[in-house]
Structure 1
Amino acid sequence: MSSSTQLARDIDGKAIAAQVLEEVREHVAALSLEHIVPALAVVLVGDDPASQVYVRNKLLRAKEAGIRSLEYRLPATTQQTDVLKLIAELNADPLVNAILVQLPLPAHIDEGAVIDAIDPLKDVDGFHRQNVGALVQGADVLKPCTPSGCMRLLHETCANLSGLHAVVIGRSNIVGKPMAALLLQAHCSVSVVHSRSVDAKALCRLADIVVVAVGRPHMIDASWLKPGAVVIDVGINRIETESGTRLVGDVDYASARTVASAITPVPGGVGPMTIAYLLMNTVIATRAQQARPTPQHSHETTEQLALSE
């Protein structure tokens, strides 16, 4: 990647997400010829305002793509056993192909237990420990939506990822760790930096690709970047301004674009890709379930897991 004195070009997540959604519609149309309609079940526990917005957007995009959606809204006082019972029922329903439990859950519910109760073949968030472990091994499983979306943005931006040095800033289970695994699969050399890293900025300045997911507004500026680097900003932070509030990323966009060759804006970068890949995962899960040799056994195993948690 060569440096440039020009401002970085924006990586248009909205346009690329629209391409992915068109691909999803094509898959759904092909499934309909086999009299199969993919179905996504979304479970929302509590009344978190941000979660309600996310769920509404996911269901709207699903409808536009021709995916049947089922919504389960449970009060914040719902007990963990009741959530697990619902998941077991959804696991056992052959007409439900995808299950998403919107996070965060109320504090009295163990998120890990709930995620691991989902049938791995219906886990379209890609958070089940079986899918996470298989991802690290390089297996073809359902992958977390945001890292998958980031990879699509990179493939659309870079001619070839093989051999490039990528730095992932942040080591969360949702973005940082799976992002590193996917970059390794793409034959990048990968470094993960975090709060305990020594001289994280120096490591970043060596990177051809920088993926930032730390949840701190404007943490990364031009001084962290190698000239010509491609920057993927996963952060979504709401900050106060004189006129109200606005959304910004973890990257100082105005500063970073003076050094980078390409950068995702916030909003309009990574965000639209997450929902697009949720729906792509739904059609992938639907296809995988058609090929499952012993569905009854798998449902029983998952239900036993749910009851044991």
Structure 2
Amino acid sequence: MHNNGKQNPPGQVMDVVVIGEALIDVVSTPEGTNEHPGGSPANVAYGLARLGVSTGLLTSMGTDRRGDALEEHLAGAGVTLLPGSRSLERTSTATATIARDGSAGYAFDISWDVEPVDLARTPPKVVHTGSIASFLSPGAGRVKAMLQEVGSECIVTYDPNIRPALLGTHAEARQTFEELVQLTSVVKLSDEDAEWLYPKKALEETAAHILGLGAELAVITRGSSGSLLATPTTSLSIPAVKTSVVDTIGAGDSYMSALILGLLTRGTGGLAPSVLDQLGCTAAAAAAITVSRAGARPPTEGELRSKLQHQPQLHSHS
């Protein structure tokens, strides 16, 4: 499973293929402008590679200098960029303009399309998708088609990472989400995502609804309040790992990367309560490391192992 930071040669089967956007986050303040690699799926791929998982990313980036910077960032962790991923003239951007009073305005310049690949021919162990890639046409339709083709050949994980400014109507977005859930094994969303999608449901009800659509595991993160992991037979509440928070950038994506690592390394226990406990605790530890330092800097495999060894044993609550 471990890639030791080296890219896989073309054609080698990877443990995880992530499908989704990679973009540049532009932060503009009165003091100046900074650019950082971003895009939730790209962050998940980056986090997985940092954890030693052989990971490929199918995305849609430009042939410009920003695309070069993104490719270099991803390759630095060991992510393999799949063929066709440099398909745009201009790399997408998400710009946050921070005024002197601290208020922020947001602008998006995002194109999303993707060159389909035949994942069913040599299926990875896990396919992950989510965020803008699962909602924005024309690429969203191609993502859905790839998931339909891969069928039950692998575990499919999904994080909607709701961005209301980029979605159509609430009803359309929820329909898109629910149609994709039916093609997935594991759905992870934040409490904010859950409350936007289902404003009249408690989080436990939303988890049950997602399971009713066909998912095997529903995970809802709740920031400092921990996370909820639910299957049709079990519901566990996992506490957050106490840490000093520098910022929460990338915490959800880091949680997702570690959750996927847990799914890959869980052994033969399926989704038994003890496995859910381990999955949740591992993901919580990864998120705690990420929020303890500035920016979207997910843990390495060694950092996560050390955190799990040295923290007090977490206990879930049924």
How high is the TM-score relative to the length of structure 1?
0.34
Query: Could you say which structure has the larger radius of gyration?
Result: 1
- Between Structure 1 and Structure 2, the one with more helix by share is 1
Identify which of structures 1 and 2 has the higher relative contact order when contacts are C-alpha pairs closer than 8 Å and 6+ apart.
Answer: 1
How high is the TM-score relative to the length of structure 2?
0.33
